[in-house]
A and B are shown apart, each in its own frame.
Chain A
């Protein structure tokens, strides 16, 4: 991580973006690859979003929420980082 990280926006102003994708996937019983195909990204991207290594763009976040049929804030939420 740090300067060589491909993702500089994980933590902004002490706030971290978390998500429930893993849980939601389990509820709908779909794999990372299925979800990736639904929202037109690679499996790697879904994987890094799930493990909080990559913050998706607003468009992608909305698409993912729509894929689960839930409002955005049920899937993505802000948390105080440390």
Chain B
């Protein structure tokens, strides 16, 4: 089957590494609430902004690689599960988006949520269905 715009298999591990690497940094930023240098500087590309870009980009690229790396055997059923999981991820994302647009005015956090909700949900749904497939396989022996 043709590769159809997916990353190679090893990208999954690269993505996982990137995502895991981002976690302590992001936690550090959140818990310490640390700002270095010019906090009053509201320009684009001040320290705070650059730090946000770096952590968010590392996370999003990591998730992206995990989500869209090829499976070992990428066949038509995997492709269908992929499509179906994407559909659910879009549904959920827009549900959350609409709810948060109606009930909050916190545009910044809505954006942040939108960065990872579809990808995370897609990955979880996709992996879960594949896990169920494998389990039914091992049950039958």
Q: How would residues 48 to 72 of chain A score, 1 for a CB under 8 Å from any chain B CB and 0 otherwise?
A: 1001001011001000000000000
Interface positions, chain B 68-122, Cβ under 8 Å from A, are 71-73, 75-78, 80-81, 84
B129–A42 touching, CB < 8 Å: no
Bound state CA distance, A54 and B75, in angstroms?
12
* 26 residue pairs bridging A and B, Cβ less than 8 Å apart: A6-B77, A6-B81, A6-B84, A6-B129, A7-B80, A8-B84, A36-B73, A40-B1, A40-B75, A41-B73, A41-B75, A42-B71, A42-B72, A42-B75, A42-B77, A42-B78, A43-B137, A44-B130, A44-B137, A45-B77, A47-B137, A47-B140, A48-B77, A48-B136, A51-B136, A56-B76
B27 at the interface (CB under 8 A from A): no
Report B's interface with A, CB cutoff 8 A. Answer: 1, 71-73, 75-78, 80-81, 84, 129-130, 133-134, 136-137, 140
A41–B76 touching, CB < 8 Å: yes
Contacts of A57 in B (CB 8 A): 76
Min CB distance A48 to B, Å, is 7
Min CB distance B96 to A, Å, is 18
B134–A44 touching, CB < 8 Å: yes
Bound state CA distance, A49 and B76, in angstroms?
12
B76–A60 touching, CB < 8 Å: yes
